[in-house]
Structures are given as C-alpha cells and as structure tokens.
Amino acid sequence: MVNQSDLPFRILVRQYDASLVYTQMLLPERLLNDTEYLEFHRRGLHDTPDAPVVVQLCGNDPEVVVRAARTVVDKADAIDLNLGCPQDAAGEGHYGGYLLEKKDWPLVESIVSALSHSLPVPVSTKIRLCQNTALTSDLGVRLEAAGSSWITLHARHVSARRRRQGAADLEQVRVLKETVGVPVVSNGNVRTWEDVQANRKMTGADGVMVGETLLANPCLFANVTPDPVKISLEYLEVCREHPGTATMQTIQTHVRHFVDHHCSRRSWFNKFRAALGRCDTIDAIEKLLRVKVQRWRGLPPLSDGDIDDLEEGTTDEDGGGPEARDVIARYGENAASSGDVDEALAGLSILS
C-alpha cells in the first residue's frame, strides 16, 4: 500500500465500514531527518476523520524506531511494526519481512519491547510466514511476550519477486490464533465480502485485514459494489476537504484503481488512463470523470445531483446489515488497553 493509504482514502473506507485503518509504512530515518517528509505525514494524521488510525513503522534499530514513533505518536491510536514488507528496499535495508529469520528474533523482540515500554499507545506487529512455516507461531509467542498487543499475519512467505506467492495459507492463521493470547488479524485471500466471512470462519481470527482489494472497492466492508465514477467523485471531494494530504500522483492512482476495477477491459480504458495522467488538478480529474468517462460508458454527463446513489449493484440483504459489518467478533480479555483501538477491534476491518 505504498503511497496509497493517504488520509482521504482512509476517511473514504472508514465511511464504508472499515473500523480501523493504517497509514502506509513510514521510514524512521526520514521522519527524523527529513522535515518535509515528517510534516507531510503528520498533516495526514488528523484527530477525528479517520480515527482510530494506526501508524505503521519499519526499521531495525530499537532506539531509532522509538525516536521516530515519538514524532507521530501524539496523532496515533497505535503504532505498528511492519515485519512483512517483501520489497527489495526492505531486503537491502534489512527491515520488514527480512527480519523474520530466527537469528533476527532477539532484535525484533527488542524493538517491540522498546516501543511498548516507551509509548502511551498500544504496539502491534504485522508479520508474514517464517521461511520455516512451523516457526511462525513460535515467533508470535515471542512477539506477545515482548509487548505486541495484537498480531496480524499475512499468511504468505516473503518474496520480492512474487508478492502473493499463490494463495495465503490461512491454516497458519488458525494455528497462530490457537497459540497466542492476544488478538490475531488474518490477512490474505479476500476479494469479496463473502471472502471476509469465510476467512474468519476458517481461521477464528479476531479480524480481517484487507489491502489491495480495497483499492479497487473501498466499499467492500459495507458489502456494496460502487459505481466507479461516483466513488471516484466522492474520493475527490474528500481530497478537497483535506488539501495537502495526498499527492496528485496518489489521487490519480486511486481513481485509476476505482475505474480499472469495472472498466479495464473496455475499449476506451487506455484512452482514459492517458487522459488521467495528463490531469494536473482535482478539477481536471472531476471533469474527465463527469463528462468523458460518462460518454465513453454510453451515459449522460453527471451533475452534482446525480451522485447520491453510489451503488452500482445491489447489497446482499443477508450480508450487509450491522451484524455483517462487525468483522471482528470481540476483543479478548488479553486485548490492549487503548479505548479507541479497543472499540475499533470490537468490529474490525482494516486497511493496510
């Protein structure tokens, strides 16, 4: 979710029943040494529109990670240590998913312990499967002991070349859940609301985290399939309400994902992508959507009064009610002690 978990997008998915959202993974060294980077990401951490929000950090130096966390903790409801990033940069910098080897566990434990003892908010961890899959639950036990208030498992191995590496091994989420005493969040294999339900039933996890699927359908947790133009316009409006919290490139990418989800095979899609790339303002993107994209879809231009009905299809009446929207059943007795995060984890659906 690099450069995709901006404030406007987090607000958008919160409006459609995601109950807890994460920032993108922030780099500690840049938070400490790059004033512009720090100011931009602090500006994207407001007190109410997307709260509760978890700030995600990486790193391999306990002191540096703690110092970086202190630059944003006043605007965070929790801090997450990313131990799952598979990108080449993480391998080169020795952080993220490249800290999962057993030889690095003492280092990981020291970072989690330093964070949990230094900050006034809960600390969580997001991991992938260890190279020796059977060791994953052992790592979970050690993370819990070090102070991780909950653990998210993306049940795939680290691979910079093939991020997904086939289907996630959700059985390992179930094993982790049965092994540790803190809440466990399952990540992987979700494309629809029905997948969310099936994931929880199979794993027994306390919550389900969804990343890339939300880029295409930010209304997933409301069990709604939105019209691509109307959800794009809604996102643009949130961007206007919170200027300076998303770059033009990020805004363009979100709109492309929304339209791609429904229209990537249409004859005009490549023309749309080229036109979107030429837009340099929110107004230009809005005009493209309201007029040209509508025309390419064989529909009349949209006026302000035409976007009230967001939904493209119909909501499953058996799956879209309040019960269906509670993606986590309950936060167990061993949960972290933060009111806002506790409440969110009582019905959790996560962006990361």
Catalytic residue numbers, as ranges: 85
In the chain, the DSSP E strands lie at: 20-26, 53-57, 78-83, 123-128, 151-154, 184-187, 207-210, 349-351
- Is the Cβ–Cβ distance between 149 and 348 less than 8 Å? no
- Gap between the Cα atoms of 35 and 108, Å rounded: 27
- Is the Cβ–Cβ distance between 259 and 232 less than 8 Å? yes
- Gap between the Cα atoms of 245 and 232, Å rounded: 17
248's CB contacts (< 8 A; 6+ apart) are: 279, 280, 281
- Is the Cβ–Cβ distance between 193 and 221 less than 8 Å? yes
Cis peptide leading into 52, omega within 30 of 0? yes
First to last CA, the chain: 6
Q: Would the annotation count 126 as a binding residue? A: yes
- Gap between the Cα atoms of 313 and 231, Å rounded: 13
Distances (CA, A) of 20 to 49, 153, 213, 288, 302: 12, 16, 16, 32, 32
CB atoms within 10 A of CB 224: 21
Q: Would the annotation count 24 as a binding residue? A: no
In 191-278, the DSSP E strands lie at: 207-210
**Tokens describing residue 37:** 């980077």
Q: Would the annotation count 230 as a binding residue? A: no
Q: Which residues are annotated as a binding site for FMN?
A: 56, 126, 154
